[in-house]
Structure 1
Amino acid sequence: MKEQVIAAAPGDVVEGVCVSPDRGSRAGVLVLSGSSGRIEADRCRVLAGAGLTALTVRWFGAVGQPSDIREIPLETFTSAIDLLLDTGVSRIGVLGLSRGAEAALLTAVHDPRVAAVVALSPTSLTWGHVTHRSSWTWRGAPLPYVPYDETWSPVLAPDGRVAYRTLYERSRDRFRDAARSAAIPVERTAAEIVLVAGGADAMWPSLPFAHDLAARRPVTLLTHPAAGHRIPLPGEPPLPPSPHHLHGGTPTADTTLGAAAWPHITATLLGE
């Protein structure tokens, strides 16, 4: 396995890691974290072990980038696809978790080079930032978005963590017109789509979102009623619990769903 640190101009892809099989690959995948903003090097190593060239980039929080998920240019991801193509791959996939799944789906809508999307704990809607601005732009224009219901009050678990699912449900229901305008138009992409969603997701209603996406075009949907928001792929090291957020699910159910989804994920990304 070959691993390379990627750096480019500020405001573009400024930090990342690319992992490729020793024998090379014709298929590449851009790997996007969720709102943690992590560089997903471990996930890339697992995907490279399955025969993929995997690139992960930091898409906010670095020098020259927005400090959080506010008006992120989708060109950040299309530029990363340019880097993947420079490695010699001919098939492009994008795999993202949570807000990264949102970015993956939107990138496929706007970039016809994307042949496959794997959306872990997806959304069917484009969400805004708390400052009443869109999370995303394309060619300088902000995308339509759903704002947040400012009347929502979090309910703390005994350990102080918060489940945000009801915030997204209430915001979607309160701002129905905005939600219609902000629906991610997955019917506009020819990419194959795999959705992986747990029925016990406590961060947002990823399974209802997945059903919304599946109602608009053919997808492969993998689910487990007791799985939560963070779905590990086989071979990944376990993540520690968040000190602030409730993700829902159980470790057993999360691992079971990741294992069940894995052959569909690899086959779709590899184009098999």
Structure 2
Amino acid sequence: MSSRFFLLLTSLIFFFNNCFAGTYEYEVKTVNYKNLAARLYLPKTTEKVPAVIGFGGSDPSWGFAEANGQMMASNGIAVIGLVYFKTEPGLPATLDHIPMEYFISAIDYAETVKEIDASRIGVVSGSRGSEAGFLLAILDPRIKSVVITTPSKVAWSGMTSAQSAWTYQGKDIPSMDLPELENATQIQRFNMALQDSEKVKKATFAFEKIGGPMLLISAENDQIWPGTAMTQDIMAYLKKYDFKYSVVHKSYPTGHGFSKETAPEIKQLIIDHFVQTLKNQR
């Protein structure tokens, strides 16, 4: 997959900052655990708090982690915000062959923090990070709640390689690549790739293995990939498997990065989801 694949940024994160602040003060700590490049956003309270693992997509910066850390820690939910390529020394240079064990180690870290209730852990991510977010919830039953923005129903190959972007136990996660189509837009290439039913079947996530409620948020006019159509497919998949947890799909008539106008509502949906599924589940 060429480097131009996913030169995108979920711009929603920039609208999250400095709005809808909650009632909790919080502190930010640099995580010193294994090889994690992460920050802990910890509410100041005498009660044990739930925690959410938060990470972005193809934008390697701290933006997604910081935005989610601010908005949820101020509402009484700890956030372990991490980056997983390029940004910090020791990380892979590109979004290629990222071990899922790296994300699992963030859950391991949560269990070492005495202020965190490790029975109440969730994950939030989006765009390319949606793939790792789903995989984390599928691979590790300690994830009890999920929020994904601009989801993909399948795993895709890396930014610079035709091999999978993700690995687990040293093996590639089954993935799909984009066809090289002359004069085609990116979304046309995605739609063409998704017509290969055999490859789609192999690369589709085992959503039925997720052990908690989900909130999925898609963009109807997404020009990066067909996120709303893929989310509808996820919903149909879960219905087929009689998924026992609640799943909510909200879509907005925007592009992949959503918009300043929709951001407040989306932000509140995310906060409310984790408050209801983690914070209030004592």
Q: TM-score, normalized by length of structure 2?
A: 0.79
Which of 19, 31, 42 is the equivalent residue of 2:54?
31
Among candidates 111, 114, 123, match of residue 85 of structure 1: 111
1:150 is matched with: 180
Percent pairwise identity: 22
Within-5 A mapping of 1:207-222: 207-217=228-238, 218=243, 219-222=246-249
C-alpha separation between the residues in 2 aligned to 1:264 and 1:152?
A: 42
Q: How does 1:42-81 map to 2 (within 5 A)?
A: 42-61=67-86, 62-81=88-107
Moved more, 50-59 or 191-200: 191-200
- SS of 1:108's partner is helix
Gaps of 5+ in 2: 1-25
SS in 1 for 2:237: coil
Which amino acid in 1 is paired with 2:272?
P
Question: Deviations 1:126-182 (Å, cap 9, x if unpaired)?
Answer: 111242101111110111101111125355xxxxxxxx3222222212x33211100
- RMSD of the alignment, in Å? 2.0
> Structure with the greater relative contact order (CA < 8 A, sep ≥ 6): 1 or 2?
2
Q: What SS does structure 2 have at the residue aligned with 1:112?
A: coil
Deviation at 1:271, TM superposition (A): 5.0
Question: What is the number of equivalent residue pairs in this alignment?
Answer: 242
From the superposition, tell whether residues 260 and 7 of structure 1 become closer, same or farther in structure 2 (CA, over 3 Å): closer
Query: How many Å apart are 1:189 and its aligned residue?
Result: 2.1
State yes or no: 1:266 paired with 2:254: no
1:252 partner SS: coil
In the alignment, which residue of structure 2 is the partner of 1:199?
Answer: 220
Q: Which amino acid aligns with 2:49?
A: R
Partner amino acid for 2:226? Answer: P
TM-score norm. by structure 1 comes to 0.81
- Amino acid of the structure 1 residue aligned with 2:231: A
Q: Is the 8 A contact 1:222 1:261 kept in 2?
A: no
Q: What's the offset of the Cα at 1:270?
A: 2.7
> Equivalents in 1 of 2:48, 2:188: separation in Å?
42
Structure 1: gaps spanning 5 or more residues: 156-163, 231-248
Q: Give, as a single letter, the amino acid of the residue that structure 2 aligns with 1:105.
A: F
Distance 1:221 1:229, change over 3 A: farther
Matched, 1:94 2:123: yes
How far is 1:264 from its partner?
Answer: 2.7
Q: Give the counterpart letter for 1:141 in structure 2.
A: K
